[in-house]
């Protein structure tokens, strides 16, 4: 239960706001981190904490795209294919990434992405992520990877595959173990 | 001239001690010695205009807050989500204390009980840096209780969004901060009025870049700030440059002293591959597209100001320039931006929800080669019926890419619906 496990963190969240309801978004993130996605258990717990109806919490989780309403692969890749990135090859990059990961289903955006053949990756295209000067780019579990090409990306994917198989990643970080890892990348 | 991106002159200014050594929080200290009215008057006199896109005079916005109300709020709009916009991220990463200081000066001026920084969810790592900066500032008494020994107390909080462009619209942002779906409110009451702001209290909502200008104005005075730029476009502005340029990035420039040509060719290093420029979007996906007939077009000599861009038939907006070369099919551009707005429409107002859906369907048909000449008129008509009839500006924004690509590049649409071979689609 979130309530017991993260009592201090939850208390700190409530302290920021004038109403309990305002805590619903940070607590949904907490639920997603705990359960891997926003499942019914998480919805119910957040609803109880914020003194809301689970249906209200579900409507909020559904409205915002960063809450996942279905289980994802261990690595959730989101490629920006919006205009500024697309002018620099993002559409083709996205296509090649899907081919490399052997993604066959095609739900397009808004449906939470498609899984790779091995189930390790979920890949999706998303709207502008505010990194337009560093296209093509993607998020992996919300961490930014910028100025990409397929060579760099293949290396990342192999690194993640090795990591998932039990090895450690070459840069020493576990990029995907948590969706909340601090990025060491700074603006140039 | 860097008022905002001071890290270019002062390395490591994101650290509190470096910031303080370089006049950091001196403006807050000065403001605390002024009356609230004096602070607002100084910002008014500077003619600072909102940098989020609307360009509304900042001091005027602050003056709308009723001074006798017991609880007011400052909300920082850091939900930077417009296609082609990435300027606030750099401010928050590299010069976060200047934003915190500007927000606290505003908070003092309007007697705010708290500052909330609403930052887009994808910038969670930037938010972590901000949280640290706030903790450092609070530990040194620049924020929190009885700031710098005064009677003024104000905590600063960070609130993470979760992936919704609409939350950059101020009333939707407030809904989101209250733990609801981010959908715009009916106005009046406006956020500055009782009943219209956060928790129904009067609230100033300002963009990150806007507030980052405030310490300079208070410290050096409105006259010094106004000496930069032009009469109605004072100070500096950050220009985000992306698309087909050699050196994309953020460029902080004094307003009116640089032209489009300076931005694209001098700062941006010119068009990629030595090609000719065909057009550009000055305010991300939401502003009218501008036609440029190659690199010698005199339109490129337009100075970078709010007023000159209105004369040009577009808006400066958030100054998010997406540059497109001669190979770009503007019908494709319209379809891309339409997909964006279809995805980001919150669904509250029918003209926007249904309009973006049908625009997307018909423009897809045109792109797939199944379009008829009447389809161009159809989407133009649908887009025009979305203008001015929605609760927020997203309905108008979504209409712009259709209306202005058709108006300024009719030949690109004609090529698709006349049965001739379609134009090449952009992308390297």
pLDDT tens digits for B351-381?
999 999 999 999 999 999 999 999 999 999 9
Residue B278 domain flag:
yes
Instruction: Quote the DSSP letter at residue B256.
Output: T
Q: Give the confidence band of A111 by pLDDT, cuts at 50, 70, 90.
A: low
Report CB contact under 8 Å: B89, A186. no
What's the pTM value of the predicted model, to 2 decimals?
0.94
pLDDT tens digits for B210-264?
999 999 999 999 999 999 999 999 999 999 999 999 999 999 999 999 999 999 9
pLDDT the model gives residue A171: 44
pLDDT the model gives residue B261: 98
Report CB contact under 8 Å: B241, A133. yes
Statement: residue B53 has pLDDT above 70:
yes
Nearest-CA distance A158 → chain B (Å): 24
Statement: residue B67 has pLDDT above 90:
no
CA distance B150 to B316: 40
Residues A27 and A88 in one domain: no
Helices (runs of H) and strands (runs of E) counted in chain A = 8, 5
Most distant CA atoms of chain A, gap in Å: 49
- Name the residue of chain B whose CA is nearest to A63's CA: B181
CA distance B305 to B320: 13
Residue A133 domain flag:
yes
CA angle B260, B261, B264 (to 5 degrees): 85
pLDDT tens digits for B333-344?
999 999 999 999
> What are A77's strand-pairing partners?
A123, A140
Q: Which of B83, B122, B179 sits opposite A25 (nearest CB)?
A: B179
pLDDT tens digits for A119-168?
899 999 999 999 999 999 999 999 999 999 999 999 999 999 999 998 65
Structurally, chain A folds into a number of domains equal to 2
CA distance B419 to B407: 20
Residues B260 and B309 in one domain: yes
Q: Which of A110, A127, A134 sits opposite B165 (nearest CB)?
A: A127
Look up the CATH number of the domain holding residue A154: 3.40.30.10
Sheet holding B290-291: strands in order across? Answer: B249-254, B236-243, B320-325, B277-281, B290-291
Please, which residues 60-99 of chain A have a Cβ atom closer than 8 Å to chain B? Answer: 60, 63-67, 82-84, 86-92
Which residues does chain B have within 8 Å of residue A129's beta carbon, measured at their own beta carbons? Answer: 122
Last-in-domain residue among B297, B325, B353: B325
- Name the residue of chain A whose CA is nearest to B428's CA: A89
Contact with chain A for residue B199, Cβ under 8 A: yes
Q: Give the confidence band of B1 by pLDDT, cuts at 50, 70, 90.
A: confident
Please, which residues 148-177 of chain A have a Cβ atom closer than 8 Å to chain B? Answer: none
Contact with chain B for residue A147, Cβ under 8 A: no
C-beta of residue B125 within 8 angstroms of C-beta of residue B89: no
Helix (H, G, I), strand (E, B) or coil at B70: coil
Residues B311 and B348 in one domain: no
Q: Say whether the peptide bond before residue B91 is cis (omega within 30 degrees of 0).
A: no
> Tokens 């949280």 map to which residue?
B131
Interface test with A, best of B80, B83, B345 (most A CBs within 10 A): B83
Statement: residue A109 has pLDDT above 60:
no
Q: In the A/B pair of chains, how many CB contacts fall below 8 A?
A: 153
Residues A55 and A135 in one domain: no
CA distance A24 to B99: 26
Q: What is the mean pLDDT of residues B295-320?
A: 95
Last-in-domain residue among B262, B291, B325: B325
Residues A152 and A99 in one domain: yes
Q: What is the 3-state secondary structure (H, E, C) of B345-357?
A: CCCCCHHHHHHHH
Tokens of B8: 């270019």
pLDDT tens digits for B252-273?
999 999 999 999 999 999 999 9
Look up the CATH number of the domain holding residue B395: 1.20.1440.230
Residues B253 and B377 in one domain: no
Residues A104 and A136 in one domain: yes
Last-in-domain residue among B300, B325, B350: B325
- Using CB atoms within 10 Å of the CB of residue A169, give its burial: 0 to 12 exposed, 13 to 18 middle, 19+ buried: middle
Residue A186 domain flag:
no
Residues B199 and B314 in one domain: no
Range of the domain at B252: 236-325
Residues A109 and A43 in one domain: no
pLDDT the model gives residue B344: 95
Residues B202 and B298 in one domain: no
Residues B306 and B347 in one domain: no
Structurally, chain B folds into a number of domains equal to 3
Q: Give the confidence band of A113 by pLDDT, cuts at 50, 70, 90.
A: confident
Report CB contact under 8 Å: A89, B122. no
Range of the domain at A149: 75-164
Residues A88 and A43 in one domain: no
Residues B74 and B129 in one domain: yes
């Amino acid at each position: 239960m979130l309530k017991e496990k993260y009592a201090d963190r939850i208390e700190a969240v409530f302290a920021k706001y004038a109403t309990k309801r305002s805590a619903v978004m940070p607590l949904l993130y907490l639920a997603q981190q705990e359960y891997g996605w926003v499942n019914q258990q998480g919805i119910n717990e957040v609803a109880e904490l914020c003194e809301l109806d689970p249906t209200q919490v579900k409507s909020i989780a559904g409205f915002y795209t960063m809450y996942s309403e279905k289980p994802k692969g261990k690595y959730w890749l989101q490629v920006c294919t919006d205009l500024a990135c697309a002018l620099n090859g993002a559409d083709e990059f996205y296509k090649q990434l899907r081919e490399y990961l052997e993604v066959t289903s095609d739900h397009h955006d808004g449906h939470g992405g498609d899984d790779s053949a091995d189930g390790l990756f979920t890949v999706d295209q998303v709207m502008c992520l505010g990194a337009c000067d560093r296209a093509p780019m993607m998020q992996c579990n919300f961490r930014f990877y910028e100025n990409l090409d397929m060579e760099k990306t293949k290396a990342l994917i192999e690194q993640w595959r090795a990591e998932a198989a039990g090895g450690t990643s070459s840069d020493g970080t576990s990029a995907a173990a948590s969706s909340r890892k601090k990025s060491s990348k700074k603006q140039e | 001239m860097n008022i905002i991106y001071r890290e270019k002159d002062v390395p490591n200014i994101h650290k509190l001690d470096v910031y303080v050594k370089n006049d950091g929080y001196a403006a807050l200290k000065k403001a605390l010695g002024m009356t609230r009215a004096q602070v607002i008057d100084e910002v008014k006199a500077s003619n600072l205009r909102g940098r989020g896109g609307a360009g509304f005079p900042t001091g005027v916005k602050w003056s709308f807050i009723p001074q006798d109300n017991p609880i007011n709020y400052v909300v920082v709009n850091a939900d930077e989500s417009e296609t082609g916009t990435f300027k606030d991220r750099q401010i928050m990463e590299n010069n976060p204390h200047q934003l915190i200081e500007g927000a606290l000066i505003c908070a003092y001026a309007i007697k705010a009980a708290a500052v909330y920084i609403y930052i887009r969810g994808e910038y969670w790592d930037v938010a972590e840096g901000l949280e640290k900066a706030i903790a450092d500032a609070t530990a040194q008494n620049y924020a929190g209780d009885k700031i710098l020994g005064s009677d003024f107390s104000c905590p600063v909080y960070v609130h993470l969004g979760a992936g919704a462009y609409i939350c950059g619209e101020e009333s939707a942002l407030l809904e989101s901060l209250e733990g609801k779906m981010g959908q715009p409110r009916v106005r009046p009451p406006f956020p500055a009025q009782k009943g219209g702001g956060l928790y129904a209290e009067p609230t100033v909502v300002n963009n990150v870049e806007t507030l980052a200008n405030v310490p300079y104005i208070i410290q050096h005075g409105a006259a010094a700030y106004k000496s930069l730029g032009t009469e109605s476009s004072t100070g500096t502005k950050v220009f985000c440059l992306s698309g087909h340029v050699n050196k994309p990035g953020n460029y902080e420039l004094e307003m009116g002293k640089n032209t489009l040509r300076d931005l694209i060719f001098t700062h941006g290093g010119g068009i990629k591959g030595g090609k000719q420029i065909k057009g550009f979007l000055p305010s991300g996906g939401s502003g009218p597209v501008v036609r440029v007939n190659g690199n010698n077009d005199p339109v490129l000599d337009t100075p970078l100001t709010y007023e000159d861009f209105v004369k040009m038939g577009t808006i400066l907006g958030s100054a998010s320039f997406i540059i497109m070369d001669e190979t770009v099919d503007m019908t494709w551009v319209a379809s891309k931006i339409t997909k964006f707005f279809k995805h980001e429409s919150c669904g509250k107002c029918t003209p926007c929800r249904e309009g973006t859906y049908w625009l997307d369907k018909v423009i897809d048909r045109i792109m797939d080669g199944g379009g008829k000449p009447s389809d161009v008129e159809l989407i133009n008509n649908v887009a025009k019926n979305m203008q001015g009839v929605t609760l927020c500006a997203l309905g108008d924004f979504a209409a712009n890419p259709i209306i202005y690509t058709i108006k300024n590049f009719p030949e690109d649409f004609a090529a698709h619906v006349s049965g001739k071979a379609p134009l090449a689609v952009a992308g390297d």
